[in-house]
Amino acid sequence: MRPAVRDELLRVNRAFYQSLAGSFVSTRRRPQPGVQRVLTRIEPTSAVLDVGCGHGLAAELLGRLGHRGIYRGIDASRPLIDLARQRVGAAWAAFAIADLAQPGWRLAAGDGAFDWVFAFAVLHHLPDASLRRQVVGELQDGLAQGGRVAVSVWDIAGRERFRRRTVAWEEIGLTSADVEPGDTLLDWRHAGLGHRYVHQFAAQELADLARAAGLTVAEQFHADGEGGRLGLYQIWRA
């Protein structure tokens, strides 16, 4: 993918999560079932890095589950980070603004290695296969020995609801020749209008990302949405 195209797709998503953060939050009032399934497995003393933490739903649930280990949540959206700080005031939790697509984002997570890294509904918003490989490699670098990465991506291929929300690339000045297979542009019409870039992962493609970073796919399952199939989850082990 040409750098200019990648940068435009990143700009589209940054603009959405900055200007429509409130609209987004109003549709996300509790963690997805798949996220809840993962969080119930986390040892209370585990060190956790939550990339794309949004408005703090995972951290809030961890607190209710008795978490007392280190938690670091990062997100590129200042409005979402502000909401996360308001939602979770526990001494073990810290939030910072950082963009996974920008060099040096790991500095915001602080020193030390993590027992768990969460990347829920994050990787599908990163355009360009090479950028996704880079980011997953950086996630692996932050793991403690035997650490795990919990990942979810949207599994929206063939779903009528999302087919109706798909818009032409020309809406943002691109064409289908500019993007990669599986790339999609979705509209947003809830309390504001916007666009979001999404990459549709096949399960094997997601697993290949893990293996390229030296990680092993320990588990895979579907959850969330109508029929419990909207989210594809994998747990990767170092």
Residue stretches of the chain with pLDDT short of 50: none
In this structure, which amino acid lies at residue 82? D
Q: Taking the CB of residue 136, how many other CB atoms lie within 10 A of it?
A: 25
- Judged by DSSP in three states, 188 sits in strand
Report the pLDDT value the prediction gives residue 219, as an integer from 0 to 100: 97
Crossing angle of helices 3-19 and 78-87, in 10° steps, is: 40
Q: What is the pLDDT of residue 66?
A: 95
Share of the chain above pLDDT 90, in %: 75
CA dihedral sign of residues 237, 143, 116, 95: negative
Task: Determine the pLDDT at residue 19.
Answer: 78
Distance CA 205, CA 207 (A): 5
State the amino acid at position 110 in one-letter form.
G
Which amino acid is it at 13?
N
The confidence score (pLDDT) of residue 145 equals 93
pLDDT of amino acid 147: 96
Domains along the chain with CATH numbers: 3-237 (3.40.50.150)
Kindly give, in sequence order, each residue whose CB lies less than 8 Å from that of residue 123, ignoring residues fewer than 6 positions away.
Answer: 132, 135, 136, 151, 153, 199, 201, 206, 209
Angle at 17 between CA 179 and CA 111, to 5 degrees: 95
pLDDT of residue 22: 66
What interhelical angle do 203-212 and 129-141 show, nearest 10?
50
| pLDDT tens-place string over residues 119-154 | 999 999 999 999 999 999 999 999 999 999 999 999
Query: For position 232, what pLDDT does the model report?
Result: 96
pLDDT of residue 157: 78
Sequence-separated (6 or more) residues with CB below 8 Å from residue 139: 51, 117, 119, 149, 213
